[in-house]
Amino acid sequence: MQVLERFTDRLIARQREMYAAPGAFIDKWRTAMRYLDEDESSGYAKVWFELQAMGWNDPEMRKRVVNVDRTWVKVITEAFDKAMTEYGLDRTQFPLEALVTLVATFNEGVHLERLSGIRSGHSALLKWIDHWLESLEANKRTRTSAAR
């Protein structure tokens, strides 16, 4: 479990640095999606799922797994809170907690399917999300230009 926690600490630092850097959210999202590939190659996803499974029968381990998950959720929440403000998203239509849960579950699902050799639909989904983010970027630029 300590290996996962230390590994997670390094990945969280990477994520925080990326999201704190200047630049458009869409570029950060694209980088984060590339990190999914890196995390798969590094073995992180496999260890993460193996320890989750062990936690199903070990309450102490489960607590530690939940803490790792909460750390990831906090990073995603901070990044998406800022992005939602930048994009002017309606928080009643896109509740932050729901959006973060969707992204966290999506990331885990991609990792799980890839570990199982399933890759169908991932590229199409990522393209669809990318297209939506591009439209949000365009709207943001339009709002920024109009405000000047």
The closest of 39, 56, 52 to 114, measured between CA atoms, is 39
Per-residue pLDDT reduced to its tens digit, 18-53? 999 999 999 999 999 999 888 888 999 999 999 999
Q: What is the CATH number of the domain that holds 68?
A: 1.10.357
Give residues with Cβ within 8 angstroms of 137, minimum separation 6: 24, 25, 26, 87
Number of domains in the chain: 1
pLDDT in tens, 2-22: 887 888 899 899 999 999 999
Say which amino acid occupies 9: D
What the block records as the tokens of 8 is 């997670």
For 15, the domain range is 2-147
Residue 67 has pLDDT above 80, yes or no: yes
What does the buried/exposed string (b/e) look like for 48-58 if buried means 16 or more CB atoms within 10 Å of the residue's CB?
A: beebbeebeee
Q: What are phi and psi of 93, to 5 degrees?
A: -80, -35
